[in-house]
Homo-oligomer: A and B are copies of this chain.
Amino acid sequence: MYRETNIRSIVKGVTWRIVATSTTIGIVYIFFGRLDLAIATGLIETILKIALYWGHERVWFKIRWGRKKIEPFNIWLTGLPLSGKTTIGDRVFEELQKLDIPIERIDSKDIREIIPDIGYSREERNRHLKRVGHLIQTLQKNSISTVASFVSPYRESRETIRNMVQNTIIVYVKADIESCKKRDYKGIYQKALNGEIENFTGVSDIYEEPTCANIVIDTDLVSVEEATKKIVEFVKKRYVK
């Protein structure tokens, strides 16, 4: 982050006044050929314009028109492993960055890489998502919106997020379990089916389908680009007018 010192702003203001007043003096002198009156014009202009600029700012300060409050929002992508949450989340994040609002991407995988021993039991998952909720809360306190993607298979932990975090948009990234298995480029479904991974959502653990998602993306029918457009439109309509 860069910060302008007070003295820089003052010096910049002074140099601009010198340029502006000299210009006025120059124009008036060329038109009328009287240097003394031209300088007088310039000096009066300087004093008047400093006062007028102040007045102009104060008037605009009272005008609400054209000022929009942006409330931080949280896009929460939930769905089976390999349903496409991360891919869609990344694209949505890319598009939302273009709106020039402070926004942060949070993906399950990144956190689990840093803290590998979070665990996958119901209790551990719920605690994990409560902490993610706290992280998003802290970001929102600083006006930062989020695009979060987590399997988050239990209704109760999605409810926790909704209660902790304002303006949460639940996006259910729906995919047929058979489609997910086909996409299994990491080989994780195979491992789960072989019994090598415990508590694997969709195989050895339940995924409780969201009943009141704000957006449902059926990845068997909709492309990543179409999904991205739908989510971005939703956000633009409600939070970034």
Which A residues lie at the B interface, using CB under 8 A?
1-5, 7-9, 11-12, 15-16, 19-20, 23-24, 27-28, 31-32, 37, 40-41, 44-45, 48-49, 52-53, 56, 60, 65-72, 101-102, 104, 106, 111, 114-115, 117-118, 123, 127, 130-131, 134-135, 138-139, 141-144, 164
Is A1's CB under 8 angstroms from B70's CB?
yes
* Whole-angstrom CA separation of A5 from B69 in the bound complex: 10
* Whole-angstrom CA separation of A196 from B95 in the bound complex: 54
Chain B residues with Cβ under 8 A from A144's Cβ? 142
Where chain A touches its partner, the secondary structure class is helix
Nearest Cβ in chain B — how far from A167, in angstroms?
13
Given A8-B67, A68-B5: A127 and B141 interface contact (C-beta under 8 Å)? no
The 8 Å CB contact of A139, one of B12, B115, B139, is B139
* Whole-angstrom CA separation of A128 from B106 in the bound complex: 18
Please name 24 pairs of A and B residues whose Cβ atoms are closer than 8 Å in the assembled complex, sorted by A: A1-B72, A1-B102, A2-B68, A2-B69, A3-B69, A3-B70, A3-B101, A8-B65, A8-B66, A12-B66, A15-B56, A16-B56, A20-B52, A31-B41, A102-B142, A104-B138, A104-B141, A104-B142, A106-B138, A114-B164, A115-B130, A115-B134, A134-B135, A142-B144
